[in-house]
Amino acid sequence: MSSVAPNGRSGLEMDAEHMRRLGHAVVDRVVDRWLTLGEAPAWEGGTRRELETLLAEGAPEEPRDAEAVLTRAYEEILPKAGRIDHPRFFAFIPSSPTWPSVLGEFLATGFNIFQGTWLESAGPSQLELVVMDWFRSWLELPESGGGVLTSGGSAANLVGLVTAREWAGNPPEPVIYLSDQGHSSLERAARIMGVPSERVRRIPTDDAFRMDLAALRDAIAGDREDGLHPLAVCGNAGATNTGATDALDAMAAIAREESLWFHVDAAYGGFAILTQEGKEAFRGIQEADSITLDPHKWFFQPYETGCLMVRDTRVLEGAFRIMPEYLQDAALGEEQVNFADRGIQLTRGFRALKIWMSVQMLGLLAFREAIQESMDLARRAEAHIRASRELELLGPATLGIVCFRFNPPERRINPVDLEALNQSIQDEIVGSGLAMMSSTRLRGAFSLRLAIMNYRSTWEDVSTTLQAVQAAGTRLLGGERP
Ligand SMILES: *Cc1c(COP(=O)(O)O)cnc(C)c1O
């Protein structure tokens, strides 16, 4: 019953041979999974009741056989989830980490890096500065710019908006502007900051789902008249629904004129800046005061890897730095950076290593090409949809996303039936395991949606999925080809 092993070591230790054996077995498992990923269902799940039956139990007081524990993880837990990196996982925003990034994650954990302060992580902190400077230069932010790696885009949006508030001198009754396509995490960030939903303005968008800037100007003027304090304008660089990007240069100009903070949510789309096409779409992003990026989306990193970039790191640090007595040893002057001063976390993992290792081992060109390839596949999907009689395009291919539905025109299906039909098509495809898809609503219309962002996805993966939509729709409509 003692927690001390016979040789006097803690019961929390394992002997070296056992450590190696378990570690090698885990690596083999992960590589095997990668090799067979496309053959597995793109999604598996289960009900609460089913999973409870499988997994609910108290914590064992005594150790169990390690191999048996791993087997349970492999068989009962890990497979019952979306395979987000499956080549036909097109739902939400997919993620497909590179192998060097997975190893970087493991190394950072294995070396137990604490990256809150320079004192405790000089090399890793310098590496985060290096990676932040890569991002800064890709976004063409000025030399004063920099950033911080976060748990994700939600945390980055929160850090960005809190920075805006501190920069503005913490005014009473601040107002935040985003489009009707703005991400829910911005609204949550506002709530966390104590900005109630009545002061989060959802500005309407045009036909291309870009913020209506005349409406933005009107809203700002109206709020000033009402004695409120317009604080920040949030632009989209890749809206999650449709991939839409706002007119960032014009938005930046309005923000400057109005002395507002200009935040750009480029969580999923931002790394498209590594392509010529993305660079053109994001014209004006370099004028932003802060930019959210999610390397765990289109930069092929494991969860959780988000990032907030700012135009002036002093403003970011001014918003977050607090130096309590018990950290006095960690105050190392201006030159060394304590990353805890740039956001929410004191204890932070070493997130920069996986990014750095991926780019070093694979080269940036491979990232540029993978992102371009995703955009090309989405465009090819759009062409297929346009050419088909039964499929109707609802949102053109934009930054890897394409929105459509099954709607043979001669059947004149009413909106309610159309929604039910498309929902059933999606359920059928997801249920079959062929592909994972998610739906959205565009101006009220139920839409199927493909988000093509995986470096493993091929045209065959995309076209097989589109054909499955057509086949399922035809079958559900009653057998005969419409
Ligand atoms: C995913 C996403 C977020 C939220 O990021 P998380 O990493 O999920 O917290 C915010 N904005 C946009 C545009 C996104 O695509």
**Distance between CA atoms of 382 and 377, rounded to whole angstroms?**
9
For ligand 1, atom 5: residue with the closest CA: 153
Q: Tell me, what's the pLDDT at 324?
A: 80
Nearest CA to ligand 1 atom 14: 267
Write the burial class of residue 380 (CB in 10 Å: 0-12 exposed, 13-18 middle, 19+ buried). middle
Quick one: pLDDT band at residue 1, thresholds 50, 70, 90? very low
Q: Whose CA is nearest to atom 3 of ligand 1?
A: 153
Residue-averaged pLDDT of the chain: 96
Distances (CA, A) of 468 to 59, 79, 429, 436: 44, 24, 7, 12
**pLDDT band of 286, cuts 50, 70, 90:** very high
Q: Are 148 and 308 in contact (CB under 8 A)?
A: yes
Work out which ligand 1 atom sits closest to the CA atom of 154. 9
Q: How far is the CA of 306 from the centre of ligand 1 (A)?
A: 9
Which whole-number Å values give the CA distances from 335 to 20, 141, 450, in the listed order?
40, 20, 46
* Distance between Cα 187 and ligand 1 center (Å): 12
Indicate the CATH number for domain 103-362: 3.40.640.10
The domain spans of the chain are 16-80, 103-362, 366-476
pLDDT of res. 6: 60
How far is the centre of ligand 1, averaged over its atoms, from the C-alpha of 267 (Å)? 5
Neighbours of 227 (CB within 10 A): 8
Q: Which atom of ligand 1 is nearest to the CA of 306?
A: 7
Distance 82 CA to ligand 1 centre (A): 18
Closest CA to 152 of 274, 15, 293: 293
Equal fold, 103-362 vs 366-476: no
Q: What is the pLDDT of residues 299-324, one digit of tens each?
A: 999 999 999 999 999 999 999 998 88
Closest C-alpha to ligand 1, atom 10: 153
25 CA to centre of ligand 1 in angstroms: 34
Residue 188 has pLDDT above 50, yes or no: yes
Nearest to 375 by CA among 277, 469, 292, 465: 277
- Which pair of tokens denotes residue 246? 């706002």
Q: Which helix (H) or strand (E) holds 430?
A: helix 415-432
Cα of 263 to ligand 1 centre, how many Å? 14
pLDDT above 80 for 482:
no
Mutational test site, ligand 1, from 149, 150, 151, 183, max ligand atoms within 8 Å of CB: 183
Q: What is the mean pLDDT of residues 339-347?
A: 97
Distances (CA, A) of 313 to 145, 291, 316, 317, 340: 6, 12, 5, 6, 13
| pLDDT of amino acid 3 | 52
Residue 429's nearest CA partner among 386, 369, 471, 367 is 471
Give the integer Cα–Cα distance in Å for 230 and 178.
12
pLDDT of residue 213: 98
Two tokens, residue 455: 């470096």
pLDDT-based confidence at residue 5 (cuts at 50, 70, 90): low
- Token readout for 122 is 């000089």
194-209 confidence digits (pLDDT tens): 999 999 999 999 999 9
Q: Is the dihedral of CA 61, 65, 68, 70 positive or negative?
A: positive
The tens digit of pLDDT for each residue in 350-402 reads 999 999 999 999 999 999 999 999 999 999 999 999 999 999 999 999 999 99
Question: How confident is the model over 91-111, as pLDDT tens digits?
Answer: 999 999 999 999 999 999 999
Output the ligand 1 site: residues, CB below 6 A: 93, 152-154, 157, 183, 185, 240, 265, 267-268, 294, 306
Q: Which atom of ligand 1 is nearest to the CA of 153?
A: 5
- Mean pLDDT over residues 249-271, rounded? 98
Extended beta strands in 328-444, E state: 391-398, 401-406, 438-442
Q: What is the CATH number of domain 366-476?
A: 3.90.1150.170
Cβ distance 436 to 86 under 8 Å? yes
